[in-house]
Chains A and B, each alone.
Chain A
């Protein structure tokens, strides 16, 4: 009966009810601070609501309509997605977008090697970092024009090969359908090395010198230090950089637009979506194409987000 002392006997009325907690929360609000805070945030919140959240809310239903510049807009259910399944241009674009991911290992390995190369206390090493980073700061269209010129049928690559009789017909880098996509990817790789080099450089410099020295004193050779200290500590950087790079490859559009305009079998999903919307004015179908790509990227961004908690620029 009363043999067990109830520890809650006195505590029952100390546990506040929901209403009283609400009241306490309400009275704890500093209204002046709240007002100031929202005033500070107002312009940014309006813009973000209009140009980030609205497209997410409105963009999905748009993919289920036949919205275009002419004619009346109707809900067409899954028609756009059915059309996409039997659209050869879509499948070609999807294949190319996925193939484009092949640049990722090239960029990442190249970037790590460059980072290791310029992570030394040599005189003038900064000049080299600058040179390697230069392609990053230029627009894809300017870089694309420069590369088109390298690839020209009588250009700096073809001319010597022809002259020395190594080939007897020029290589059509950007119009041969077997080569064109790879030629564009080469430009993307060149533009990406410097960017990821900087990320790996930050990674290398975050490794405490003492750790490497301690490992060396303990008798780990150069390879041992690399294997047991440098590579494990660089891993988180490599993971994030790789995922960023994969998403960038899946989203690629500018480089293709600049170099081939999507011709010669190089179209990619992002560019095809753009062309559908802004050149054929089929917004509904363009939105459907965009969403297919977005869902593929979504899977990757989920992983990246978990790894990084949102500290990178989602380009």
Chain B
């Protein structure tokens, strides 16, 4: 009897503990997403209820005027297009070049390999105080300022991706490669048909990291692009912030437009986003 009562008391305690845990987690979750929710709410408000008190989480009345207004005043769709071009180009180039470069570093023996690997590794500690300035000067010499290619070229092959991919290649068993070689497959065929499919999870990590970096970057694009019409969304926001500081409602709508694609992607691929960070740190 008493043991049953004890068990029941234990069960009640677990339930209470779990309820408290959920309440705590919910409270923190609200705090973490609140700045964006509040911005989202604001973007549907009118000048009349924007400062209403008590604050309205669900705007009454709600309006789409800010979205229409900002789209009329700033080339928001052009910014969206620019962002898509920069992101696609940047991710595509880095994925291709890094996947290629990491392969021999992981699986071939050739003179200079250790020197190259060491040189790449050394950049993680060698101080580099004027990277952005010198890269801008280089792009100017190459006549690539104010171009999309200029924005993405400095990160068209990142050492970080090469290391991540090299790590992935080294885990593939040697037998697979040897079997193909006996069958007379070319080096390129082995890479493309055997190696690349086997490192798919790491490729996805590289894509996600890079997608996020390009979609969110705004300082470098502002440096490279002279014409604000060529800005990506994030850079456009910086520009808009200066131009429309008096009209926060428009700015709110523009900001919501800029982050929505990224947030949707994150919600769809959240597992890969989160595992990627953990994997990169452990690797």
Shortest C-beta distance, B138 to chain A (Å), equals 6
Q: Does A48 belong to the interface (CB within 8 Å)?
A: yes
Shortest C-beta distance, A206 to chain B (Å), equals 8
- In the complex, are the beta carbons of B130 and A253 less than 8 A apart? no
Residues of chain A within 8 A of B131, CB atoms compared: 52, 55, 59, 290
Expressed in whole angstroms, the Cα–Cα distance for A177 and B246 within the complex equals 22
Residues of chain B within 8 A of A190, CB atoms compared: 32, 35
- In the complex, are the beta carbons of A146 and B38 less than 8 A apart? yes
Residues of chain B within 8 A of A129, CB atoms compared: 274
Expressed in whole angstroms, the Cα–Cα distance for A147 and B134 within the complex equals 33
Q: State whether A131 and B278 are in contact (beta carbons under 8 Å apart), knowing that A37-B104, A159-B53 are contacts in the complex.
A: no
- In the complex, are the beta carbons of A52 and B159 less than 8 A apart? yes
Dominant secondary structure of chain A at its interface with chain B: helix
Residue in contact with B120 in the complex, picked from A48, A258, A311, CB distance below 8 Å: A48
Residues of chain B within 8 A of A33, CB atoms compared: 108-110, 187
Residues of chain B within 8 A of A295, CB atoms compared: 127, 129
- In the complex, are the beta carbons of A145 and B252 less than 8 A apart? yes
B266 nearest CB neighbor, chain A only: A137
Tell me the count of chain A residues lying within 8 A, CB to CB, of chain B.
Answer: 102
Shortest C-beta distance, A310 to chain B (Å), equals 5
Residue in contact with B153 in the complex, picked from A51, A140, A278, CB distance below 8 Å: A51
Interface Cβ pair total, 8 Å cutoff: 285
Q: Does B77 belong to the interface (CB within 8 Å)?
A: no
Spell out A's residues near B (CB within 8 Å).
25, 29-30, 33-34, 36-38, 40-41, 43-45, 47-48, 50-56, 58-60, 62-63, 114, 117-118, 120, 122, 125-135, 137-143, 145-147, 149-150, 152, 154, 156, 159-160, 163, 190, 193-195, 198-199, 201-202, 206, 237, 240-241, 253-254, 257-258, 273-274, 277-278, 283, 286-295, 297-298, 301-302, 305, 310-314
Expressed in whole angstroms, the Cα–Cα distance for A152 and B39 within the complex equals 12
Q: State whether A55 and B130 are in contact (beta carbons under 8 Å apart), knowing that A40-B103, A47-B156, A114-B28 are contacts in the complex.
A: yes
**Can you show 18 pairs from A to B with CB atoms below 8 A apart?**
A34-B110, A37-B110, A41-B101, A41-B104, A44-B157, A48-B120, A48-B159, A52-B159, A122-B18, A128-B28, A132-B28, A134-B263, A137-B263, A138-B216, A139-B259, A277-B133, A287-B129, A302-B125
Residues of chain A within 8 A of B154, CB atoms compared: 47, 51
Interface window among B3-11, B61-69, B171-179, B233-241: B233-241
Interface centre among A60, A118, A253, A312 (most CB of B within 10 A): A312
Interface centre among B24, B128, B248 (most CB of A within 10 A): B128
- In the complex, are the beta carbons of A287 and B133 less than 8 A apart? yes
- In the complex, are the beta carbons of A286 and B283 less than 8 A apart? no
Expressed in whole angstroms, the Cα–Cα distance for A110 and B187 within the complex equals 49
Q: List 9 additional contacts besides A130-B270, A139-B217; criterion CB under 8 Å.
A: A43-B96, A58-B134, A117-B24, A128-B28, A130-B274, A195-B277, A278-B223, A290-B131, A291-B127
Expressed in whole angstroms, the Cα–Cα distance for A145 and B132 within the complex equals 25
Residues of chain B within 8 A of A63, CB atoms compared: 129-130
Expressed in whole angstroms, the Cα–Cα distance for A53 and B116 within the complex equals 12
Shortest C-beta distance, B34 to chain A (Å), equals 8
Residues of chain B within 8 A of A291, CB atoms compared: 127, 129-130
Q: State whether A29 and B110 are in contact (beta carbons under 8 Å apart), knowing that A47-B156, A141-B218 are contacts in the complex.
A: yes
Q: State whether A139 and B258 are in contact (beta carbons under 8 Å apart), knowing that A199-B277, A301-B125 are contacts in the complex.
A: yes
Chain B residues numbered 134-153 whose CB sits less than 8 Å from any CB in chain A? 134-138, 153
- In the complex, are the beta carbons of A293 and B32 less than 8 A apart? no
B103 nearest CB neighbor, chain A only: A40
- In the complex, are the beta carbons of B138 and A311 less than 8 A apart? no
Shortest C-beta distance, B95 to chain A (Å), equals 11
Expressed in whole angstroms, the Cα–Cα distance for A131 and B53 within the complex equals 28
Expressed in whole angstroms, the Cα–Cα distance for A286 and B136 within the complex equals 13
Residues of chain A within 8 A of B263, CB atoms compared: 134, 137-138
Expressed in whole angstroms, the Cα–Cα distance for A66 and B116 within the complex equals 34
Residues of chain A within 8 A of B126, CB atoms compared: 56, 298
Residues of chain B within 8 A of A293, CB atoms compared: 129
Q: Does B74 belong to the interface (CB within 8 Å)?
A: no
Expressed in whole angstroms, the Cα–Cα distance for A155 and B101 within the complex equals 51
Residues of chain A within 8 A of B153, CB atoms compared: 47, 51
B40 nearest CB neighbor, chain A only: A146
- In the complex, are the beta carbons of A198 and B270 less than 8 A apart? no
Q: Does B255 belong to the interface (CB within 8 Å)?
A: yes
- In the complex, are the beta carbons of A277 and B101 less than 8 A apart? no
Shortest C-beta distance, A152 to chain B (Å), equals 8
B217 nearest CB neighbor, chain A only: A139
Residue in contact with B262 in the complex, picked from A137, A273, A288, CB distance below 8 Å: A137
A-B pairs, 10 with minimum CB distance: A291-B129, A59-B130, A44-B101, A202-B278, A37-B104, A139-B216, A290-B129, A294-B129, A44-B157, A294-B127
Chain B residues numbered 36-69 whose CB sits less than 8 Å from any CB in chain A? 36, 38-39, 42, 51, 53, 55
